[in-house]
C-alpha cells in the first residue's frame, strides 16, 4: 500500500489512505489523555463504539526527547498497537515548541536553558507577561520563533519521530501529522527581542511579496491595500498597521516549515498547521502569527510542506469560518470544533458542502458529557455561545459517523464535483441547493427540530438517483427543467451501507413518502421529472 497522501481530484485536495478516499470521522482528545497507554485503553473502546474511524491526539517533544539526544518512542508504538487492535487510525499532534502559543510542551532541558533557547519578549527585555484567569495572575511565556537553536532542536526531534514512524508504522496507522499547535504570540502583537527587532527593521523578503501578489485576489483588504502602496521596504513600510502580525506570521510559518520539511524528508505523509482563530480586535489578543484567515497566504507562500491550514472552531460563526478556510484551494479540515448539540449537523454540512477531510469535536473522550468550558475561555473558546448549553447526543453522533463512514466510497468519488452538497439549519440564507435540473430544499424549523442543528446532505450518483442524509429537517425536490417541470418520487429506500453493500431497511411510501428526518437517516431516492 502507498503512504497516506493528498491528491487533487476534480480540482480539490482529497486524502487517500490505503489508496482510497478517506474522511476523518474523528475527535480530538484532551491534551493529557495520550500521555499514558493505561489512560488511553478505555478511550479506544468508547470511541470505536461511537463509530469514529480515527482520533487526533498529542505526541509531545517533552515525552519524546526528555534528555537531549535520547529519543523515546515506546509510547507512540504502544498507541499504534492500541489503534490497530481497535481497527482505527490516528493523526499525531506534534506538540513541539508551541501549544496554544505557549511553550509548555518543550522538554525541561529546553525550558531551563533560556540563554540557548531564547524566549519571546512581548515587551522589550521581558520574557514573561501576565494575564488574569479566574482572579489568578497567570504567567505567560513562550519560545521565540527567531531562535535558530530552538528551531533546529525541534526539527531534529520531529525528524527522529518521523524516521521512527517510517520504520515502525508499516501498516500506516498514523495517517497525518499536525506540526505544532495553535502557534503565534499572546499578550503582544510581536516579539520585541533584539533579534526580532533587527529583523523587523530590515527589508521584507522578496519571496513573501511575490507569493502574496500571486495570491492577491483573496488577500484581506488591509493587506492588499498596503501592498498596493508599497512592495519594497521594511515591515512597517510595506505593511503599515498590519506589520506586526504579518512579520510574526512570516517567521512562525518559516519555523514550522523548517520542522515540517525535516519530518517530510524522513517520512512524507500529510502535514498541516492549525490555528486559534481571530478573536478579539488586536493580534496578541489572539495569537499573533498563527495561520489565521488574514495570514493564510503568508503560510501558503512560506510553508509549502504543509498540505493545508486548519481552523479550530470554538465560535458560533461556524458556517463563515468553514467558507473562509476553503480559499486558495485549501481543503476544509477541522481538527477541533466545540462539542455540543450542533456538532452532528455540522459534520454532515462540512462533508456535504465543503467536502471536508476531517471533523473532530474537541475533548471527544468526554463524549456524553456537557462540553467543558472551565478552561475553554482561557484558550480561545467563546463560552457565550448558546449552543454550548446543549450536550452532544452520543447516539446521534455515532449514527451520523456510521452513515457517513459507509457512504465514504460514494462521497470520495464526488468530492470536488457539484454533485455533492449540503444545507445546515444555522445558515438561514441558504435553504436550497441546485443540481443542474433539480433543486433540493430543506425546512429545518418547527417540528423538524431535533438536536441543536439540522442538516441535509445530497449526493447525486445518477441523473435520477440521490442519496440523502438528513437530520432534523424535511427535504423537498423541485424540477428546474422547463421541459419536464413536474417532479415525483419513484422509490425511496431507507438504509445504510453495511460492509460496503447498500442494505435496505424499509421501502418508504404512502404516509412515509412525505419524508421527514428526525434522527440521522440515509435514503436512496429515485426521482422522475416529467411534463
Instruction: Give the interface with ligand DGJ as residue ranges (CB under 6 A).
Output: 31, 100, 181-182, 312, 336, 362, 376, 379-381
Contact 74, 29 (CB under 8 A): no
CB of 435 to ligand DGJ, least distance (A): 37
Q: At what angle do helices 221-229 and 206-214 cross, to 10 degrees?
A: 120
CB of 376 to ligand DGJ, least distance (A): 5
CB of 154 to ligand DGJ, least distance (A): 18
Q: Residue 182 or 385: which CB sits closer to ligand DGJ?
A: 182
CB of 95 to ligand DGJ, least distance (A): 8
Q: Residue 107 or 380: which CB sits closer to ligand DGJ?
A: 380
CB of 360 to ligand DGJ, least distance (A): 11
**What's the Rg (C-alpha) of the chain?**
24
Contact 441, 488 (CB under 8 A): no
Q: Which residues contact 113 (CB under 8 A, 6 or more apart)?
A: none
Q: Residue 31 or 54: which CB sits closer to ligand DGJ?
A: 31
Which cell numbers in the block locate residue 326?
476553503
Please give the residue whose beta carbon sits closest to ligand DGJ in the complex.
379
Long-range CB pairs of 32-39, under 8 A, 24+ apart, other chains included: 33/57, 33/365, 34/58, 34/59, 34/75, 34/79, 35/60, 35/63, 35/75, 36/75, 37/75, 37/78, 37/79, 37/82
Q: Residue 379 or 439: which CB sits closer to ligand DGJ?
A: 379
Q: What's the longest Cα–Cα distance across the chain?
A: 80
CB of 85 to ligand DGJ, least distance (A): 26
Does residue 506 sit in helix, strand or coil? strand
Contact 59, 22 (CB under 8 A): no
Beta strands in 384-454 (DSSP E): 420-424, 432-435, 438-443
Q: Residue 14 or 367: which CB sits closer to ligand DGJ?
A: 367
CB of 182 to ligand DGJ, least distance (A): 4
Q: Residue 247 or 314: which CB sits closer to ligand DGJ?
A: 314
CB of 31 to ligand DGJ, least distance (A): 5
From residue 203, how far is each of 219, 233, 247 by CA, in Å? Answer: 20, 5, 11
**CA–CA separation, 207 vs 198, rounded Å?**
19
Residue labelled with grid coordinates 526580532: 196
Which cell numbers in the block locate residue 375?
478552561
Q: Residue 100 or 193: which CB sits closer to ligand DGJ?
A: 100
Does residue 284 sit in helix, strand or coil? coil
Phi/psi of residue 428, nearest 5 degrees: -65, -15
Q: Residue 146 or 362: which CB sits closer to ligand DGJ?
A: 362
CB of 203 to ligand DGJ, least distance (A): 34
Q: Residue 338 or 508: which CB sits closer to ligand DGJ?
A: 338
Amino acid at each position: 500500500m502507498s503512504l497516506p497522501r493528498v491528491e487533487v481530484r476534480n480540482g480539490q485536495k482529497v486524502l487517500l489512505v490505503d489508496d482510497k478516499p478517506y474522511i476523518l470521522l474523528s475527535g480530538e482528545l484532551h491534551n493529557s489523555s495520550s500521555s499514558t497507554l493505561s489512560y488511553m485503553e478505555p478511550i479506544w473502546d468508547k470511541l470505536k463504539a461511537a463509530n469514529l474511524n480515527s482520533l487526533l491526539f498529542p505526541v509531545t517533544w517533552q515525552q519524546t526527547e526528555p534528555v537531549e539526544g535520547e529519543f523515546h518512542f515506546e509510547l507512540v508504538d504502544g498507541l499504534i498497537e492500541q489503534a490497530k487492535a481497535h481497527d482505527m487510525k490516528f493523526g499525531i499532534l506534534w506538540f513541539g515548541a508551541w501549544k496554544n502559543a505557549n511553550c509548555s510542551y518543550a522538554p525541561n532541558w529546553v525550558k531551563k536553558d533560556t540563554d540557548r533557547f531564547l524566549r519571546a519578549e512581548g515587551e522589550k527585555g521581558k520574557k514573561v507577561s501576565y494575564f488574569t484567569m479566574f482572579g489568578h495572575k497567570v504567567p505567560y511565556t513562550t519560545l521565540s520563533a527567531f531562535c535558530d537553536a530552538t528551531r533546529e532542536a525541534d526539527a531534529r526531534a520531529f525528524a527522529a519521530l518521523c524516521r521512527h514512524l517510517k520504520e515502525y508504522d508499516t501498516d500506516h496507522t498514523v495517517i497525518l501529522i499536525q506540526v505544532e499547535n495553535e502557534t503565534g504570540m499572546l499578550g503582544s502583537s510581536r516579539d520585541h527581542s533584539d533579534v526580532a527587532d533587527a529583523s523587523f527593521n530590515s527589508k521584507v523578503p522578496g519571496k513573501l511579496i511575490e507569493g502574496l501578489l500571486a495570491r492577491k485576489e483573496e488577500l484581506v483588504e488591509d493587506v492588499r491595500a498596503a501592498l498596493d502602496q508599497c512592495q519594497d521596504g521594511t515591515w512597517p513600510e510595506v505593511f503599515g498597521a498590519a506589520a506586526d502580525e504579518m512579520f510574526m506570521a512570516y517567521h512562525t510559518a518559516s519555523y514550522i516549515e523548517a520542522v515540517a520539511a525535516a519530518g517530510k524528508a524522513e517520512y512524507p505523509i500529510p502535514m498541516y498547521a492549525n490555528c486559534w482563530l481571530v478573536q478579539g480586535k488586536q493580534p496578541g489578543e489572539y495569537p499573533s502569527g498563527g495561520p489565521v484567515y488574514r495570514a493564510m497566504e503568508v503560510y501558503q507562500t512560506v510553508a509549502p510542506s504543509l498540505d493545508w491550514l486548519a481552523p479550530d472552531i470554538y465560535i458560533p460563526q461556524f458556517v463563515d469560518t468553514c467558507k473562509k478556510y476553503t480559499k486558495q484551494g485549501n481543503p476544509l479540515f477541522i481538527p477541533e470544533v466545540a462539542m455540543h448539540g450542533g456538532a452532528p449537523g455540522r459534520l454532515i454540512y462540512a462533508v456535504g458542502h465543503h467536502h471536508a477531510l476531517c471533523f473532530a469535536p474537541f475533548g471527544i473522550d468526554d463524549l456524553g458529557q456537557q462540553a467543558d468550558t472551565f478552561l475553554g475561555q482561557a484558550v480561545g473558546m467563546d463560552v457565550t455561545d448558546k449552543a454550548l448549553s446543549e450536550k452532544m447526543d452520543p447516539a446521534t453522533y455515532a449514527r451520523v459517523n456510521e452513515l457517513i463512514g459507509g457512504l465514504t466510497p460514494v462521497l470520495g468519488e464526488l468530492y470536488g464535483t457539484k454533485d455533492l452538497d449540503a444545507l445546515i439549519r444555522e445558515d438561514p440564507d441558504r435553504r436550497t441547493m441546485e443540481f443542474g435540473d433539480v433543486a433540493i430544499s430543506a425546512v429545518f424549523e418547527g417540528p423538524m427540530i431535533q438536536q441543536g442543528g439540522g442538516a441535509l446532505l445530497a449526493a447525486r450518483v445518477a441523473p435520477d438517483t440521490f442519496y440523502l442524509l438528513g437530520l432534523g429537517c424535511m427535504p423537498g425536490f423541485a424540477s428546474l427543467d422547463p421541459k419536464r417541470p413536474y417532479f415525483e418520487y419513484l422509490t425511496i429506500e431507507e438504509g445504510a451501507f453495511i460492509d460496503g453493500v447498500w442494505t435496505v431497511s424499509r421501502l418508504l411510501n404512502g404516509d412515509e413518502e412525505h419524508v421527514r428526518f428526525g434522527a440521522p437517516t440515509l435514503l436512496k431516492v429515485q426521482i422522475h421529472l416529467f411534463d
